[in-house]
Amino acid sequence: MLNTLKKSLFVALFMLCGSAYAELPQDYKVVLLTENFPPFNMAVDDKNFARDDGIDGISADIVREMFKRAGIDYTLTLRFPWDRLYRLTLDKPNYGLFSTTYTEERKPLFKWVGPIAKTGWVLLAAPGNDIKVSSLQDAAKYRIGAYKNDAVSQNLESQGLEPINALRDQENVKKLVRGQIDLWATTDPVGRYLAKQEDVTGLNTVLRFREAELYLALNKDTPDEVVQRLQKALDELRSEGFIDDITENYL
């Protein structure tokens, strides 16, 4: 009786371990989506469509190495606009999206791997503009431009503000210098990088209102095995100094 019980326990433990480290189907592949969000992910030719090696940036390089080390196959495509990529990843199994800002509001919508990088959320004013605000509520009286379905825009909306959303964050640079908006709500250093591409420098940081972290967001139906292997690979890369090296290379 005792031997039978021991045998049953052994089989149960073996099956439990096996399920915890279950092999993925041989043809398993993650469909990775990204956008132009320099210096974290961007098309080499600066266009709004690219695949695989036509994409670079801090996050892109890290994610590639992460998947390689985890032994998980993937395809990588850069498209536009962000709003469409976000909804595709919400709806389609085995889709992933980066660089996605992790927020409490988004937490239950995806499975997460990260953080890949850290950023800050800011309100920027045009060169020479001396607007001063002490809080977001104080900024509500101004016309604020933001990027549709971006975490910054979602955060402003959740606090009762009504940002004027654009489908491309670069549009906000032009709107700002033309006086069509008073403030630009964006991510630092992304905003300054985009502005520089439009030959705009000297933007004034009016308010830095939140620190943020960038993650890989995976559809909720993604197997836990995939999430665990990718997170383990990312943790190893961080401890080895790989992430710091890549970041310094771009910045």
- pLDDT, residue 16, reads 44
pLDDT tens, residue by residue, 34-80: 999 999 999 999 899 999 999 999 999 999 999 999 999 999 999 99
Q: Kindly list the domain boundaries of the chain, sorted by start residue.
A: 29-118+213-249, 120-212
- pLDDT, residue 251, reads 72
Tell me the whole-structure pTM to 2 decimals: 0.74
Q: What percent of the chain has pLDDT over 90?
A: 83
CATH, range 29-118+213-249: 3.40.190.10
Residue 20 has pLDDT above 90, yes or no: no
Residue 13 has pLDDT above 80, yes or no: no
When pLDDT is cut at 50, 70 and 90, the band that residue 227 belongs to is very high
Residue 249 has pLDDT above 90, yes or no: no
Residue 1 has pLDDT above 60, yes or no: no
Residue 88 has pLDDT above 80, yes or no: yes
- pLDDT, residue 22, reads 61
Residue 123 has pLDDT above 50, yes or no: yes
Give dist(CA 81, CA 44) in Å, integer: 17
- Mean pLDDT, to the nearest integer, of 172-182? 97
Fold match flag (29-118+213-249 vs 120-212): yes
Give dist(CA 85, CA 83) in Å, integer: 6
CATH, range 120-212: 3.40.190.10
Q: What is the dihedral of CA 98, 101, 106, 112, to 10 degrees?
A: 50
Give dist(CA 78, CA 25) in Å, integer: 26
Give dist(CA 21, CA 121) in Å, integer: 38
Cα 110 to chain centroid, rounded: 12
pLDDT tens, residue by residue, 132-141: 999 999 999 9
- Mean pLDDT, to the nearest integer, of 193-201? 90
Name residue, tokens 């909306």. Answer: 157
- Mean pLDDT, to the nearest integer, of 151-178? 95
The SS3 call for residue 19 is: helix
